[in-house]
A and B are shown apart, each in its own frame.
Chain A
Amino acid sequence: MMDPHRMIIRLGIGAGMAKALRFETLRDELRGIALTFGLVAATTAVIYAIIIWIGLTRGSVLYLIPVLIASIRWGIVPALFAAVCGVIASAFFFFPPLYSFEIRDPQEVINLALYILTAVVVSQLAGRLKRQLELSRQREIDLAELYAFSRRLAVAFDVSDIHSAIEDHLAAVIQRKVLLFAGAREATSSGRRDSAAVPEGVQKVVNEVAAGRREASAGMTVSGEGGDAWLVRPVSSKSPELGVIAINFGRESGESFDEMRVRVDNVLVDATATLERLGVAHAISEARMRAQTDQLREALIGSVSHELRTPLASILGAATVLSAAPALRDEKKLQALVHDVRDEAERLNNDIQNLLDATRISSDGVKPHAEWADPGDIINSALDRCRRRLADRKMVLNLPSDLPLIHVDPVLVQQALVQIFDNAVKYSPAGSQIALAARARDGRLIVSVTDEGAGLTSAEQAQIWHRFARGERHAATTSGSGLGLWIANAFIAANGGKMHAMSDGPGRGTTVSIEIPVTQAAVPQLESDADE
């Protein structure tokens, strides 16, 4: 539901991760050094082999290979280690005096200088390459995130969806805890719950920024308790509706803090561009207004309908007493008037019932009380309820006597059927035929009601399930709230079923059908069990 001050906590890499990162780097470094050592040893073996089999005497230049590999793969430290190891190994194994670390040949000094130079230059180059690669990979991830973000926005259903999408996106990209505060003016009851997530000082600044009392379009740093630094800034300086974010940077300081800040700026520029392109800011303020209007409307409809029903009971009751009164028995005209009062009161009562049902559906949802029910009972009872309304239609029933039992709330299904009958009567001429057919097929029970009435255009077919849907062709001639089929559909859906409407076109009748799953296998043992 709408919760304008919601704050969702997304945990990225927290403050404690920095230490872990450092530890990880050290481990990687050591691994590189160990591997380098292996490489140097392998190179020594290869040089030995070359000297023995081919007879070369100066193989020490091959020690450049481990230096190159180490500088490309593992960085400067293992590379320098490889250089030093190489020189030591060649001094030991290949330069006279053999098997001593003594250095006599100036060639060895030159070798050492050459190796070190190679190590430094190549590892720098490789490092730069690697950073660029990482950067472009990060960029790729950012783009993917951004794409996912815009996709999520595109399917966002209400404001809170949009807010959590923004929050998730930032948290995913920045890898820090991100909180989004939207609509701080409504920060009363619902916001409290989450307030513990940010230190008080930060919350205060957030509120001030959100209320526009403090300028922070570039973002401002607030230090919370425990020395954590928080960055507070509006998501967009142009559209305050998008809210204010607070990001926990942990204890990072100096350079990496600035780096993060730049990154946040970049991400937000991308994100707001997406949001603006989709017109999200406008949509949010509109949706919020609509939600409030909806709530008000539900409450109003609920209480008004209840108040209206009470006098209706007296009106309808009194009309039925009058219609049977001896004084009016022979007064045909007066009788007709009394019947009008009764019929109209009944119609009004149905309309009110629809409004009540509609508010029930949208405020609490429908909670079916399922039991095993006979479809025939449900259909007959719906027909009974519509008896008077169906009186001047030719009713044709096709009701097999061996329909399977269904596990539903029979009253909801009956009410859905009543709505369908109501619609069939409303949009078909007096004297025309309304056919009801029920059949079980492929594990489903299908009940269809076919009239010979106004039919549906393809546009109407698409929108008849909408709330307050009224066909334009009939708006002037037929009364109705446009709630009937919407209610029917909600009731059937609550019972795990589906509804369909078919029509060959305007003026060619409509078939509305209900489809309910039959779990025949689930009916516990029947006859043998029950009749001993």
Chain B
Amino acid sequence: MNEPSPIVLVVDDEVQIRRFLRTGFELNGFVVHEAATGAEAIRSATLRPIDIAIVDLGLPDMDGAEVVERIRSWSSMPIIVLSVRSSEAQKVHLLELGADDYVVKPFGMAELLARVRVALRRQSRAASGEPIVKVGPLTIDLSARAVMLNGSRLNLTPKEYRLLQVLAQHAGNVVTHQHLLKEVWGSIHVHDTHYLRIFVRKLRQKIEPHPDSPRILVTELGVGYRLAQSGQEGEGAASWAGASAPAKADG
């Protein structure tokens, strides 16, 4: 793989955070640019080619949400937000503003790297027009509108397929309830979360090897759903599936 090193812009006012992020990213083959303020971040993003931005929400000169909004106004680069506040409403707001994903502080480097890789992969897939999304045993062919589990074709209802399609378009990244409801049922149903619950349950029966401990269509409580990608599964989700599934006592 002789791909050029991806360039990451790290926006955080705390030097210690920037330092460990720089080291972490460099050890994993990234080129790192740093910015300590929102203004600096925006300047940096306009002047240099950046592949992905990591934006802290508590910046001294402006709210991180504003940085996300400003960058998003002219660039489609993936943005991952670092949040200390674990308020779900705020996460949803940031995602609606155009952030691709979020990581709650304190976080581990592996967690952030997984999110970053997913976002980069999605970006390159969108750029190349690649129609096939693979999640573990599940294959979604967006051009042929076909869904395969372990090679055999699944029979999905139109709404189930639409749901899976929206998730696959953002594969690996979290998609908010509101977005899913709007895309699948129309904007008058954006608050009917129960539609989503019922359909996700049905969809999981069809696509998950263990529907009761889902590993493919993952819930982000209070925010939305994500289609897990291999980068995220590997870290521990898989070990969980192994630990809990055999012990499961049905009934």
A residues touching B (Cβ–Cβ < 8 Å)?
Answer: 309-318, 320-321, 324-326, 342, 345-346, 349, 369, 371-374, 376-378, 380-381, 383-384, 387-388, 391, 394-401, 405, 409-411, 414, 523-524, 526-527, 529-531
When chains A and B are docked, how far (Å) is the Cα of A449 from the Cα of B27? 42
CB atoms of A410 and B222 under 8 A apart:
yes
* Residue contact A398 to B211, C-beta cutoff 8 Å: no
A-side binding surface: helix, strand, loop or mixed? helix
Asked if A321 contacts B84 (CB within 8 A), the reply is no
> With A313-B106, A384-B240 in contact, is A326–B251 under 8 Å at CB?
no
In the complex, are the beta carbons of B251 and A400 less than 8 A apart?
yes
CA–CA, A349 to B86, complex, Å?
13
A314-B14, A530-B192, A530-B195 known, 12 other contacts, Cβ within 8 Å: A311-B16, A313-B105, A317-B107, A372-B193, A376-B212, A380-B219, A383-B213, A387-B236, A394-B247, A396-B247, A401-B205, A530-B198
Whole-angstrom distance from the CB of B48 to the nearest CB of chain A?
24
CB-based contact A374/B200 at 8 Å: yes
Q: Nearest Cβ distance between residue B224 and chain A, in whole angstroms?
A: 11
Pick the contact of B197: A316, A372, A387, A531 (CB < 8 A). A372
What sequence of 0s and 1s flags, for each residue 54-81 of chain B, a beta carbon within 8 Å of any chain A beta carbon? Answer: 0000000000000000000000000000
| Contact indicator A324/B221 (Cβ below 8 Å) | no
Residue of B19, B193, B194, B201 ringed by the most chain A CB atoms within 10 A: B194
Instruction: Give Cα A37–Cα B19 distance, bound, in whole angstroms.
Output: 107
**A324, B27: Cβ atoms under 8 Å?**
yes
Interface contact A405-B194, CB-CB below 8 Å: yes
User: Which B residues fall within an 8 A CB radius of A?
Assistant: 14, 16-17, 19-21, 23-24, 27, 84, 88-89, 105-110, 157, 159, 177, 185, 192-195, 197-201, 205, 211-214, 219, 221-222, 236-237, 239-240, 243-244, 247-251
Verify A316–B192 contact, CB threshold 8 A: no
**CA–CA, A193 and B244, complex, Å:** 61
Chain B residues within 8 Å of A314, by CB: 14, 16-17, 19-20
Asked whether, in the complex, the Cβ of B221 is within 8 Å of the Cβ of A381, the reply is: yes
Instruction: Decide if A524 touches B194 in the complex (CB within 8 Å).
Output: yes
B202 to chain A, nearest CB (A): 9
Contacting residues, chain A, for B194 (C-beta < 8 A): 372, 405, 523-524, 526
CB proximity of B110 to chain A, nearest CB, Å: 6
Q: A380-B213, A384-B240, A401-B211 are in contact. Are A316 and B108 (CB under 8 A)?
A: yes
Contact A374 B201 (CB under 8 A): yes
Q: Which residue of A lies closest to B56 (CB)?
A: A313
A-chain residues with CB within 8 Å of residue B192 when the two chains form the complex: 524, 530
Asked whether, in the complex, the Cβ of B108 is within 8 Å of the Cβ of A399, the reply is: no
Check A387/B247 contact, CB under 8 A, given A401-B212, A523-B194.
no
Contact B107 A371 (CB under 8 A): no
**Do A378 and B221 form a contact, CB below 8 Å, given A312-B106, A321-B24?**
yes
A296 to B103, CA, bound (A): 33
Which residues in A have their C-beta under 8 angstroms from that of B109? 317, 320-321, 324
Q: A324-B27, A397-B249, A411-B88 are in contact. Are A369 and B17 (CB under 8 A)?
A: no
Chain A residues with Cβ under 8 A from B197's Cβ? 372-374, 377, 405
Shortest CB distance B58–A (Å): 9
> Taking CB as reference atom, which chain B residue is nearest A352?
B106
Q: Select one of B84, B222, B240, B244 contacting A313, CB under 8 A.
A: B84
Give me the 4 closest cross-chain CB pairs, A-B, nearest first: A314-B16, A372-B194, A320-B108, A377-B219
| Listed A/B pairs (26) with beta-carbon separation below 8 Å | A312-B106, A314-B14, A314-B19, A317-B106, A317-B109, A320-B108, A324-B109, A324-B110, A342-B108, A346-B106, A369-B89, A371-B222, A373-B197, A374-B197, A374-B219, A383-B244, A394-B247, A398-B251, A399-B212, A399-B213, A401-B201, A401-B205, A409-B222, A526-B195, A530-B198, A531-B157
Q: Which residue of A lies closest to B248 (CB)?
A: A397
A371 nearest in chain B by CB position: B193
Residues of A within 8 A of B201 (CB): 374, 376, 401
Compute how far the CA of A527 lies from the CA of B24 in the bound complex, rounded to whole angstroms: 47
Contact partner of A381 (CB less than 8 A), chosen from B157, B219, B249, is B219
Contact status A325-B27, CB under 8 Å: yes
> What CA separation (Å) do A311 and B17 show in the bound complex?
9
Q: How far is the CA of A209 from the CA of B119 in the complex (A)?
A: 72
Give the distance to chain B from A167, nearest Cβ to Cβ, in Å: 42
Which A residues touch B157, using CB under 8 A?
Answer: 531
Query: Which listed residue (A311, A321, A377) contacts B221, Cβ 8 A?
Result: A377
Q: Chain B residues near A396 (CB, 8 Å)?
A: 247-249
Most interface-central of A374, A394, A400, A405 (chain B CB within 10 A): A374
Q: Which residues of A contact B105 (CB under 8 A)?
A: 309, 313
CB distance from B221 to the nearest CB of A (A): 5
CB <8 Å contact, A326 and B88: no
> Would you call A527 and B251 a contact (CB within 8 A)?
no
Q: Which residues of B contact A376 (CB under 8 A)?
A: 201, 212
Separation in Å of the B95 CB from the closest CB of chain A?
16
Q: How far is the CA of A349 from the CA of B110 in the complex (A)?
A: 18
Closest to A436 in B: B244
- The interface residues of chain B lying within 8 Å CB-to-CB of A372 are 193-194, 197
Find the B residue at minimum CB distance from A372.
B194
A466 to chain B, nearest CB (A): 26
